[in-house]
Structure 1
Amino acid sequence: MRITTAVSMAALVAGSAMAQTAPQTVAPAPAAAGTLNPAAEQQPATARLAGQPEFKMADGIVATVNDQIVTGFDLRQRMLTTIAMSQVEPTEENIPAIQQQALQALIEERLQSAEIAKYETLKISDADVDEEIARMAQEAGTTPEAYVQFLAGGGIRPETLREQLRTEIGWRELVGGRFNSRSRVSRAQVQQAVRQVTEAASKPQYLIGEIYIEAARVGGQQQALAGAEQLVQQMVQGAPFQAVARQFSAAPTAARGGDAGWVVQGTVQPELQTALEALEVGQLSRPIPVSGGVYIVYMRDKRSGAAINLVNLKQAMVELPETASPAEVSAATTRLQSLRGELTCDNILQRTSSEAGLLGSDLGEADVANLAPQFQQVARSAEIGSVSDVVRTPLGVHLLAVCGRRAGGADVPTAREVEGRLQNQNLAMLARRYLRDLRADALIELK
């Protein structure tokens, strides 16, 4: 890839409609920049946008991507779209960041559309685009017709919007069709992830939104820091976090409005962990520099951890009262130990029902804390699918099969949900690599 350095940043001049806002100094350590209003996410976009700035763009070509061009008109249209979708108020300070974001998006769109064109069977219909517009309008709290009219009133041509959406839909289908099988996760990966969730149940957890500004994409770490500071100012002043994340974040969570879900203490970079511990619920962080870029974190909620751990047990048992003699206990223990190597979660009930003097039962899923003290150690530490050594209780001697374990609580994901999240993460990673490879092979010139 070759990029010329003769970039004319002076091609864009902000009109008088823009406010004059002095840039703030970035704090030396992560700290709250302010508290966000959760209701801002629920208000229709059209209710908060009074108008769009007048941009004066240089005529002609501003970039070429292989044999495709990007014109000043294209760039202006994309900047207006970015502003409308993110609901960021354009100022002299943040216009360069918006321009950079729009230009990079157009470059990637040209690469994507050229790749889509290689597949004759991949055609996105007008109905597909209409459905996407309807979804966007619903999120904005209005009808598709009113949504398009609103954007047109801000200078965004409907046909330009439709072509942008056509490429976005086509790219999603191309990535899904090409990498879906490679993004699948094994049962072992799902089980490991579920175990990690279970082990983290007692640790502090944070429900966060994230915006990541990638330094390489915006011209360097200083540009990323300056751009992040401008976005923080805009969100504190009322721009919705989710809308800003969708337009500016380079993280895989951008498509979900920056929703990173529950994050467990100690599983993030040290710089982010410091911020998570300092932020209160509802607060937005100042820009957090990390290697390769800058994060902005929104603390939606905190909790000390899931209150319960659940385990699924089955047992084989010989009934013996507390008054049983040592010889009786020894005989029962020997009998169970002789069976132990043959038992699994799948056959333990069948085997015990066919053996005289043995009782088998499915104990179901229970809170570890509510189990008999003699069972708790097995329930906490034994491997899933294993059968324990003999355990003595006042009721008899037991073999316990540990058939499942998970963290309790309404917000803890199921195994199916964990599998879906892992697959989506893999698919997003493969899509980023795909686009990165296209950029590396492309001839990109900025005029």
Structure 2
Amino acid sequence: MPRPLRSAAFALLLAAVLPLPAGAQLPPQSQAAAQSNRIVAVINGEVVSRADIVGRARLFALNAGIAVAPEVLDRLTPQVTRLLIDERLRLQEVQRRRIPVADSDVADAVKELEQRNNLPEGALSQQLRQVGVQPRVLYDQIRTQIGWARLLRQQLGPTAIPSDAEVQETIRAAAARTGQPEYLLSEIFVPLDDPRNEAEVNRFTEEVIRQLRAGIPFPVAATQFSQSQTALQGGDLGWTRKEDLDPAVAAVAERMPPGAVSNAIKVPGGFQIVALRQKRESGRDLATLISVRQAYFPFAGTLDPNNPTQQQRDQVEKAQRLATSARSCDAVEAAARSAGGNERAADPGQIRLETVNPPPLRAMLAGLSPGKPSQPILMPDGVLVMMVCSREQRNLAELTPDQAKQQMLRDRIELLSRQLQRDLRRRAVIEMRN
């Protein structure tokens, strides 16, 4: 499986495999063709077929880096169907308003995706084809995203930019909430449509919780199992106040330690499983931010501590010389370039010290004075030398004027997007096919 792609353009890529209608008797090739052409929905006269949904399934697998089993995809059918209908409605509206989206705009977006994921030009299309996805599946989605963003900007106009007075009022309101608890949560929502099925739904949620506690990443499980729209973002609820949660969920979140996964919580319409990622007081999120440089000296093979090879000894000696001689981050960065250890970036960017794992590495970085190299850190596949370049304390929850302006603009865009989407759905003629 090709490695997952990291991009916002892939955040909404979900799909489902729909079952063959009962009673169909076709040879394998004809059966596959019939399934591919089967109509799932008709939106204002335009068809969404099973082939469209299968394409999204494979695209999701590429993005998530997981195998997508048919039984898992069946549970995603309602979300995926709604997603594809909403996208088709958006594209129809973009075309109705004659908002241009040129092929060159799509090509530029694809090029940016490739650059962001360190892929050579043309590699994205090749990856898609390798997993059976026609590149047009992605290109059509990108075209819709570009057109919808232009439509929203056109609708909002210059008056959407918040005034200085509005920005200051937002900052004052945020300051007034200082000290109130906030929770960074992820959710999995499992609906209960019929009370007679409660025992079966309970068994399902218990299995999901078991898999989570066995180590399956919460975003992957949320994407597979949740029936909330947040599943499209891996279940991410963002920073949430107690007042914004269901009372039963809020009561659990107050007692949970960061990193914990709850049991299933009964809420209106079903059950909710939540993971608490972080906890903070509103307006107070003191963090230690560090910048580092690291030089990685790779081993040709896995290290046997009792019988190191000559190449491994040589690499350790190079790391020891660097740890003794380096006096600046520039020196560590230069050593990283000459070491050829491309598996680890010389500059990993700004790091929040409190989130560094494993704990021994966090403790080592916390005790390292800026400009002083670490002792060589021995690993099975290489040896690492690190240096802290800068360290600062910052209140990450403090709202700056620029952040306030961007937040207000995002909220206005999101509100308008939802209003337009609701209007499009209300006016649309949507026919669902079984």
Normalization by structure 2: what TM-score? 0.55
Structure 1 residue aligned with 2:150: 173
Q: Is the 8 A contact 1:79 1:99 kept in 2?
A: no
Distance 1:81 1:307, change over 3 A: closer
2:405 to 406, 409, 419: 419
| Counterpart-to-counterpart distance in 2, 1:229 and 1:186 | 50
Partners of 2:57 and 2:68 within 8 A in 1: no
The alpha carbon displacement at 1:152 in A equals 1.7
Deviation at 1:258, TM superposition (A): 6.1
User: Among residues 245, 248, 252, which one is paired with 1:275 in the alignment?
Assistant: 252
Q: Among 16, 20, 39, which residue is 1:11 paired with?
A: 20
Report deviation, 1:171.
1.4
Give the equivalent residue in structure 2 for 1:60.
Answer: 38
Correspondence for 2:424 among 417, 427, 438: 438
1:129 Cα deviation from its structure 2 partner: 1.9
Partner in structure 1 of residue 84 of structure 2: 106
1:117-132 correspondence runs (5 A):
117-120=95-98, 122-132=99-109
**Match of residue 314 from structure 1:** none
Distance verdict in 2 for CA 1:93–1:56, change over 3 Å: farther
Q: How does 1:26-425 map to 2 (within 5 A)?
A: 57=35, 59-87=37-65, 89-120=67-98, 122-137=99-114, 140=117, 142-143=119-120, 145-180=122-157, 183-185=160-162, 189-206=166-183, 208-211=184-187, 237-239=215-217, 241=219, 261-285=238-262, 290-291=267-268, 297-304=274-281, 409-425=395-411
Measure, in 1, the Cα distance between the counterparts of 2:33 and 2:76. Answer: 12
Report the Cα distance in structure 2 between the residues aligned to 1:187 and 1:123, rounded to whole angstroms.
33
- CA contact under 8 A between 1:93 and 1:230: conserved in structure 2? no
Tell me how many residue pairs correspond in the alignment. Answer: 296
Distance 1:294 1:156, change over 3 A: farther
Question: Structure 1 pair 439/409, CA: closer, same or farther in 2 (3 Å)?
Answer: same
Give the 3-state SS of the residue equivalent to 2:96 in structure 1: coil
Question: Which whole-Å CA distance do the structure 1 matches of 2:221 and 2:277 have between them?
Answer: 16
Gaps of 5+ in 2: 1-16, 23-31, 287-393
- Secondary structure at the aligned position of 1:283 is classed as coil
Cα offset for 1:127? 3.2
Is the CA contact 1:252–1:428 (under 8 Å) kept in the aligned structure 2? no
1:290-343 per-position Cα deviation (integer Å, ceiling 9, x unaligned): 45677654433223565699xxxxxxxxxxxxxxxxxxxxxxxxxxxxxxxxxx
Q: Which amino acid aligns with 2:43?
A: V
For residues 78 and 231 of structure 1, do their structure 2 counterparts lie closer, same or farther at Cα, with a shift above 3 Å needed?
farther
Task: Give the superposition deviation at 1:279.
Answer: 2.9
- The 3-state SS of whatever aligns with 2:395 is coil
**Structure 1 residues 265, 439: CA separation in 2 closer, same or farther (over 3 Å shift)?**
closer
Following superposition, the deviation at residue 228 of structure 1 comes to: 8.3
> Counterpart of 2:84 in structure 1: which amino acid?
L
Superposed displacement of residue 133, structure 1: 2.8
Contact 2:190 2:205 in 1 (8 A): no
- Amino acid of the structure 1 residue aligned with 2:398: V
Pair 422,260 (structure 1): closer, same or farther in 2 beyond 3 Å: farther
Between the aligned partners of 1:99 and 1:127, the Cα distance in structure 2 is 33
Segment of structure 1 superposing worse, 413-422 or 175-184: 175-184
Instruction: Give the Cα–Cα distance (whole angstroms) in 2 for the partners of residues 243 and 185 of structure 1.
Output: 38
| 1:57 shift after superposition | 3.2
1:156-208 Cα shifts (integer Å, max 9, x gaps): 111222112111221122122213557555655544432332233223333x2
Alpha-carbon distance in 2 for matches of 1:445, 1:271:
37
SS at match of 2:276: strand
1:91 deviates by: 3.6
The one-letter amino acid paired with 2:175 is: T
For the 8 Å contact 1:55–1:76, the answer to whether it is kept is: no
CA distance in 1, matches of 2:160, 2:271: 27
Compute the displacement of 1:55 (Å).
11
Q: How far apart, CA to CA, are the structure 2 residues paired with 1:230 and 1:172?
A: 40
Change (3 A) 1:304 1:434: closer
Give the superposition deviation at 1:438. Answer: 0.9
Normalised to the residue count of structure 1, the TM-score between the two structures is 0.53
> Which moves more between the two structures, 91-100 or 414-423?
91-100
Contact 2:186 2:238 in 1 (8 A): no
Q: In structure 2, how many angstroms separate the alpha carbons of the residues matched to 1:109 and 1:173?
A: 15
Post-superposition Cα deviations, 1:254-304, rounded to whole Å, max 9, x if no partner, equal 67x666554445454423422322332233445656456776544332235
Relative to 1, partners in 2 of residues 1:186 and 1:71: Cα closer, same or farther, differing over 3 Å?
same
Distance 1:189-1:295 versus aligned 2 partners, 3 A rule: farther
Structure-2 separation of matches of 1:308 and 1:153 = 44
